């Protein structure tokens, strides 16, 4: 699996001279994202593309080829794969569509057979590519730039995966990898789970899935995995399941079965893509809470109540203790030191920082949600700077900020500093919920794994 993510050399087979074609775009992305290994365009027409000498066949390339990205029409793929096999290519990512997803099973089986014969692994077919940010490898035809981070995204949907590449960029969500799995003819979710489990650059794995090929193998792979796995499982409804079946040919199965299995093996299920990243962001940045007591600090009663509702619904425990009276020091007499701690609309940056310091210093408090409504007395960007300065990183802190453009900018500033910040109090609470859920699942997983040994 190494060769898909940390190859020393990459060949793009079907690298086109025409900038509008997919093979050209993949080559352009590889070159522009800053990949440091060797890059070889392959096209029988020869010549030069984007300043690179073009080889007429992969076998003409002088050095070794670890990864070949194949973007030629499906009927040409077997012949290209034979050539890759003779060359000794290690991994092949097949972009081309036109296989099992359109009923062309035979062609897909032939491709796998050829790969097995030569000891190559196949990613796809029917994929948009693979990217691994620590190696500055963007072998996709998605957006050129990908923000570096600790979340690995595995997508069974092509177009959605590409869209998420752009979306994560604007939302300041950092990725370690993005992998399109397409028809999963050879490389499976399980292979990728194992790879990312051992990858020091990945802290959380997010999967967009429509179905699994081998339920038992998936369960085993999750059990032996030591990292949080967040799954967006599409096809929840009966009609959605039918749509999934015609999209990727997945047997969606009963959604209740998936739900039960996820819970049994400790997979965090997200209802929406947004939800998945709300949770993944916190899981990738924050430490595990030592205990269950959460404190909400707010300058607005309203969002405090919304967050409290969400906490109750999500099962996030709000702390009640006499030591909460310490918060009195940072609020006017009409504030409330009961949880949610309301430091009132008069709160400025100093009041927030005072409250944050009190929460950080109290060993009975295990996680903190800091909420903010934009006011003239507390500038959001100054607040973000204050949080960055004051937060000591020892227990989880999530932030929710509601307001206008400056508030949005403050949210981005916090996120790029690794402090999860959201534009809704419910999201902040759900992020904490994910941390508590993962703590429970981590223990459950290692116990189940030990039991199977
Ligand atoms: N070796 C190397 N290059 C070759 C070979 C060969 N044996 N044979 C032909 N080529 C060259 C062609 O000459 C061409 O280069 P040129 O433009 O310089 O002449 C290049 O390979 C591409 O071949 P075309 O026949 O022009 O094919 P095109 O680029 O139109 O399409 C593609 C190829 C992209 C693989 C297409 O068949 C396909 O499958 N598209 C769908 C891809 C896709 O959507 N995948 C799923 C992604 S996820 C999602 O849903 C978004």
Q: Report which protein residue has its CA nearest ligand 1's atom 12.
A: 14
379: enclosing H helix or E strand: none
Please, which residues bridge with residue 130 across strands? 139, 179
Candidates 15, 22, 77, 84: which one to mutate for ligand 1, based on the most atoms within 8 Å of Cβ?
22
Give the residue-averaged pLDDT of 63-90.
98
Does residue 250 register a pLDDT over 90? Answer: no
Domain(s) of CATH 3.40.50.261: residues in the chain? 2-283, 289-438
For the segment 29-62, what is each residue's pLDDT rounded down to a tens digit? 999 999 999 999 999 999 999 999 999 999 999 9
| CATH of region 2-283, choose from 2.40.440.10, 3.30.365.10, 3.40.50.10330, 3.40.50.261 | 3.40.50.261
Least confident interval from 41-55, 117-131, 246-260, 367-381: 246-260
Confidence of residue 391 (pLDDT cuts 50, 70, 90): very high
In this predicted structure, what is the pLDDT of residue 254? Answer: 74
And the tokens for 298?
């707010």
Give the residue-averaged pLDDT of 278-287.
97
Q: Give the chain's mean pLDDT.
A: 94
- For tokens 């179905």, what's the residue? 211
Does residue 252 register a pLDDT over 60? Answer: no
pTM: 0.93
| Residues 445, 222 contacting (CB under 8 angstroms) | yes
Tell me the CA–centroid distance for residue 110 and ligand 1, in Å.
19
Residues with CB under 6 A from ligand 1: 13-14, 16-18, 21-23, 42-45, 71-73, 76, 80, 95-98, 126-128, 158-159, 162
Tell me the CA–centroid distance for residue 141 and ligand 1, in Å.
12
C-alpha–C-alpha distance, residues 5 and 115, integer Å:
18
Please, which residues bridge with residue 173 across strands? none
Does residue 449 register a pLDDT over 70? Answer: no
Candidates 43, 102, 125: which one to mutate for ligand 1, based on the most atoms within 8 Å of Cβ?
43
Tell me the CA–centroid distance for residue 72 and ligand 1, in Å.
3
Confidence of residue 248 (pLDDT cuts 50, 70, 90): low
Domain 289-438 matching CATH 3.40.50.261: the answer reads yes
For the segment 411-427, what is each residue's pLDDT rounded down to a tens digit? 999 999 999 999 999 99
Give the residue-averaged pLDDT of 159-180.
91
Does residue 26 register a pLDDT over 80? Answer: yes
Return the ligand 1 atom nearest residue 57 CA. 1
Q: Report the chain's terminal Cα–Cα distance, integer Å.
A: 24
- For tokens 């049994």, what's the residue? 264
Candidates 17, 20, 21: which one to mutate for ligand 1, based on the most atoms within 8 Å of Cβ?
21
For the segment 122-169, what is each residue's pLDDT rounded down to a tens digit? 999 999 999 999 999 999 999 999 999 999 999 988 888 898 888 898
And the tokens for 253?
């199965």
């Amino acid at each position: 699996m190494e060769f898909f993510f940390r190859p020393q050399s990459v060949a793009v087979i079907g690298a086109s001279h025409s900038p509008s074609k997919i093979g050209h775009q993949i080559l352009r992305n590889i070159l522009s994202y800053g990949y440091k290994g060797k890059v070889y365009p392959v096209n029988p027409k020869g010549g030069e593309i984007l300043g690179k000498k073009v080889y007429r066949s992969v076998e003409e390339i002088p050095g070794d080829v670890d990864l070949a990205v194949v973007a030629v029409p499906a009927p040409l793929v077997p012949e290209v794969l034979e050539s890759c096999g003779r060359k000794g290519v290690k991994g092949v990512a097949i972009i081309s569509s036109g296989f099992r997803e359109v009923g062309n099973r035979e062609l897909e089986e032939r491709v796998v057979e050829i790969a097995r014969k030569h000891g190559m692994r196949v990613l796809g077919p029917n994929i948009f590519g693979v990217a691994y940010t620590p190696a500055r490898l963007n072998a996709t035809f998605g957006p050129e730039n990908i923000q570096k981070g600790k979340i690995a995204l595995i997508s069974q949907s092509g177009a959605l995966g590409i869209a998420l590449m752009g979306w994560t960029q604007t939302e300041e969500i950092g990725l370690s990898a993005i992998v399109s799995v397409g028809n999963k003819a050879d490389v499976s979710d399980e292979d990728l789970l194992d790879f990312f489990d051992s990858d020091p650059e990945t802290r959380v794995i997010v999967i967009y899935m429509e179905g699994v090929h081998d339920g038992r193998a998936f369960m085993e792979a999750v059990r032996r995995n030591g990292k949080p796995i967040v799954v967006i499982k599409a096809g929840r409804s009966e009609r959605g399941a039918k749509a999934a079946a015609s999209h990727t040919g997945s047997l969606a199965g009963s959604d209740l079965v998936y739900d039960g299995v996820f819970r049994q093996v400790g997979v965090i299920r997200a209802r929406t893509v947004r939800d998945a990243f709300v949770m993944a962001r916190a899981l990738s940045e924050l430490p595990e809470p030592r205990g269950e007591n959460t404190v909400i600090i707010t300058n607005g009663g309203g969002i405090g109540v919304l967050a409290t509702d969400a906490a109750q619904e999500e099962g996030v425990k709000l702390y009640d203790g006499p030591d909460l009276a310490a918060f009195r020091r940072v609020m006017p007499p009409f504030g409330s030191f009961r949880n949610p701690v309301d430091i009132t609309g008069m709160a400025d940056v100093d009041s927030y920082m005072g409250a944050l310091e009190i929460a950080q210093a109290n060993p009975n408090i295990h996680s903190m949600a800091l909420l903010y409504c934009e006011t003239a007395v507390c500038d959001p960007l100054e607040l973000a700077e204050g949080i960055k300065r004051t937060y000591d990183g020892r227990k989880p802190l999530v932030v929710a900020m509601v307001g206008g453009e400056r508030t949005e900018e403050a949210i981005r500033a916090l996120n790029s500093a690794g402090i999860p910040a959201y534009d809704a109090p419910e999201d902040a609470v759900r992020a904490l919920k994910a941390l508590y859920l993962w703590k429970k699942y981590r223990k459950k997983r290692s116990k189940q794994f030990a039991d199977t040994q």
